[in-house]
Structure formats: structure tokens, C-alpha cells
Amino acid sequence: MTRKCFGFRFPFGKDRRGGASCRVSFSGEDRHALEREQFEAVLRSFDASRIAERLMILDIFLSVEQHVTLAELAALVRERQPALADLGFVRKTMEMFCQCGFAQQVTFENQEVRYEHHHLGQHHDHFICTRCGQIQEFSNEELERLQLVIARQFRFHPLQHRMDIYGLCAGCMALRDEAIPLKVAANGERVRIVQLLGDRALQARLADMGLTLGTCLEVINNQPAGPAIVAINTSRLAIDGAIAQHVVVAHVCRHDDI
């Protein structure tokens, strides 16, 4: 069986029992060699220009396991193959990778467009740290099966999906103080008030707003400029940034919900 890309054919894995396409397991090195061979076949099938140079860029891209921006990839190309240090050529080549299914663009909140490998038959999801920007891939067969079970219950026929989970990585949590001002808590974070600073008048004002020791909050929007928007149960509350500095909170771990 063959697959098409740009209307041109190139072979994929064959089932030894009958020639039908099947899922084949490869080591990382073997997989990269196969993908290189397939991409070269595609390029030659429509007489593309600068084939050898595009394959060099593919080799560099496949050697990197991180999600890379175009600028980061171009910097690697400049370091390893200085003669190919042309951002426009790298961009066009990456577009070809994506169109042929060897790479895919991914966009995470507040980050530049990035590129990741697209290995056939290997789905993964992402954890994204909103503090340091670290992107961690993960896969879970039980989770994938559950999604299909739910889709079947709704008589929905899934074609593709992507799941990105935003939060705080272990490294950032380890560097953070146990108690912090509400103003620096992360969007989406659940926190508990552990201390209220300021004079009696300010503390009375906070109490009138429902902000007392032990109160649990969910941070909805907490930008450097402007108020902190939080939820208390089913109510939303806007807290002036200066006042939010006087509300000291501790992280409430969602792991405890399990």
C-alpha cells in the first residue's frame, strides 16, 4: 500500500503477511533514516531544487528532540551547515516538511510557533509550564482509549486531536516560596489565603470582599498591570494589584483531587 504527498507516491511499512499497511516499530535512528529516505523520494518525484541541501536541514531537524522555533532551527543550521544559513530557505524547507507530514507546527499560549517531529503512528500530548515555558511530551494509552470510548458514546468519529495541559513544572515549583503574594500567583492556579498584611482598615476591607484566612481562590487572570481577577466559589472578584500584594497565599495542589 502507498500513501500520497503532493500527489506523489512513496512507500510505507508493509505487513509481511500480505502487503497491507500496518503499524511498524522502529528505533529512533532507523525511523529517522526511513523518514529521510521517504522525503528524498518525495523531492525527486517532483524534481525539487536543492535536494541535498534540504536533506541536510531534515537531518538537523530530526536530530533535535525539542520543539524548535524557526529562528532556533536556523541558528542550528548556521552552526552545523553555515553555507545553508538562509532563513528564507530554512522556512520554505520547513513548510515542505509540514506539507508532507514529516513535521507539524504547534502553537502554545504566549509562545512563538514551534515545529515538532511528526512520527507516524505515535501520538503524544503536552505539558506546558506557564512560568519557564518548558514543553514536556507525554503519552498514555489508557487516556487515548478513554477518549475513544467517550467519542463512541457520542457517536462521534474522531480524526485527530491535541491536548495541551498548562501548569507549573516541578522545577519552577521547587524554586518558589511556599507562601507568595496573590499578585504573583499563576493564571489558573488554586490557592489558599494564609496571611493578610496591612493595617486593620485594609484587613476589614479585605474581609468585606470575602478575603479571609483559609479562603480558597482560583486565579482567573493575573497580569502584571491591572487587577487580579479571582474566583471565590461561583463569584468573580477584581482585586486591585496593590491590594493583591497584601494577600499572601499558598498553592493548593490539584493532585489532592485524585
Domain containing residue 204: CATH number: 2.30.30.90
Distance CA 165, CA 139 (A): 12
pTM (two decimals): 0.74
Question: What domain count does the chain have?
Answer: 3
- Shared-domain flag, residues 136 and 227: no
For residue 147, pLDDT beyond 60: yes
Per-residue pLDDT tens over the stretch 90-103:
999 999 999 888 88
Please state the length of the chain: 258
Tens digits of residue pLDDT in 21-58: 344 445 567 778 888 898 899 889 888 899 999 999 99
Q: How many CA atoms lie within 13 A of 218 on its CB side?
A: 9
Answer whether residue 201 shows pLDDT above 80: yes
Residue 40, classed as helix, strand or coil, is helix
Regarding whether 108 and 65 lie in a shared domain, the answer is yes
Residue where a domain terminates, one of 76, 92, 121: 121
